[in-house]
Homo-oligomer: A and B are copies of this chain.
Amino acid sequence: MCKFFLTYANTSSYMNNTTLKKISEILGLSISTISRALKNHPDISDKTKQRVVELAETLDYEPNANAINLRTSNSKLFGLIVPSISNWFYNAFIASVEEESRKNGYSLMILQSGDDPLIEITNLKLCRQNRITGLFVCISPDTTNIEPFLKLKELDIPVIFFDKVPEINNCNKVCVADSLSATMAANAIVNKKKKKVLGIFGNPHLLITKKRLEAFQNTINEKVNKIKLITDHASSSVEAEEIMLRHLKEKPDTIFCMSDEILIGAMKVVQQKGLKVPQDIAVITISNGGAPKLYYPEITYVETSGHKLGKLAFSSMMACLGGSTFIQELTIESLLVEGGSL
């Protein structure tokens, strides 16, 4: 045995990875015995187990995930495709899914598409090549063809769409309550007896924008005490800034922002003009909670929690893996978080 050990010590610079075979040769046992010993199989005696585990540790054995996946065809790996990880909401979502995955013995392959449908497809291929067990995906705004994603279902790979979901029906989706959260924000404004609201919304051809705009408008307009509502669209923080500057002449008493990005643009103008919040102008937004806390007073917001959405997406995934063929379209509830801005 000592001889064997020396031999392997010498060749360690060439064969740099410990394998079951290597351990088996040193110990004079078969590969299968080593494999079973390491996973505490009842067939193997305690003496043997101890010897094996000990050597495995000193040799710093790490099982080869590729071999295991190949053999068992169960990768215990989820794919997660997102337009960008540089985003508070997605950050929270990812952290949440990752935590759950880790706790349940899965790992996570995070891929970002940079809003490029081509990269998105590349990422999808990568997921398939790595034989993922399931996929979480938030499609980019420019993605028109979701066929490739649906194809995974034929391969028995569950797909959970989150946040930006396709408009078709036969797929699992988890979303924030787009309409409801806008309604809640509108109600908060109404309750505060505001008179003139500037609502800044996002890219007008996104589904999320349409939903929020419609719900917001309806809620504001259904009130008897007529509130004047000005709406406009901004696709970026800078555009939101311009819109704020343009509409400030009309003296709104309240600003509603559909997203963090828009809030940030709007708040730059608030600072620039030296406006007091909420005395000169009230502000309310829809957010995961990161951006509103940047300001003083903290901005009142309707929370759409990436963290909660992650939990929901994960449990939906587990349900699919558990054999549920029930297609679900889930929504997390929203919550009004009071800052001092309204």
Contacts and interface: CB of A to CB of B under 8 A. Distances in A.
Interface of A: 16-17, 60, 62-67, 69-70, 75, 84-86, 88, 91-92, 94-95, 98-99, 102, 107, 109-110, 112, 114, 119, 122, 125-126, 128-131, 151, 154-156, 264, 267-269, 271-272, 274, 276, 294-297
Given A131-B66, A269-B296, A85 B75 contact: no
Given A64-B131, A65-B129, A86-B92, 14 more contacts: A17-B131, A66-B75, A66-B131, A70-B70, A85-B91, A85-B110, A86-B88, A99-B114, A102-B122, A109-B109, A110-B110, A267-B294, A268-B295, A272-B296
Contacts of A66: 65-67, 69-70, 75, 130-131
A263 to B, nearest CB: 10
A95 B86 contact: yes
Nearest to A128: B62
Contacts of A125: 62
Nearest to A107: B126
Contacts of A128: 62
A64 B129 contact: yes
Contact of A271 (B98, B126, B296): B296
A129 B17 CA distance: 10
A70 B62 CA distance: 14
Contacts of A88: 86
A262 to B, nearest CB: 13
B60 A64 contact: no
A88 B154 CA distance: 38
A272 B271 CA distance: 11
A243 to B, nearest CB: 15
Contacts of A119: 102
The 5 closest A-B pairs by CB, nearest first: A271-B296, A86-B91, A272-B296, A65-B129, A66-B69
Contacts of A65: 66, 129-131
A6 B126 CA distance: 29
A17 B155 contact: yes
17 contacts: A16-B155, A16-B156, A17-B131, A63-B129, A64-B70, A65-B66, A66-B67, A85-B85, A85-B91, A86-B92, A95-B114, A107-B109, A107-B126, A109-B109, A268-B295, A268-B296, A271-B295
Contacts of A129: 62-65
A286 B175 CA distance: 37
A265 to B, nearest CB: 10
A276 B60 CA distance: 60
A62 B294 CA distance: 46
Contacts of A151: 60
Nearest to A269: B296
A63 B131 CA distance: 9
A156 B85 CA distance: 31
Contacts of A264: 294
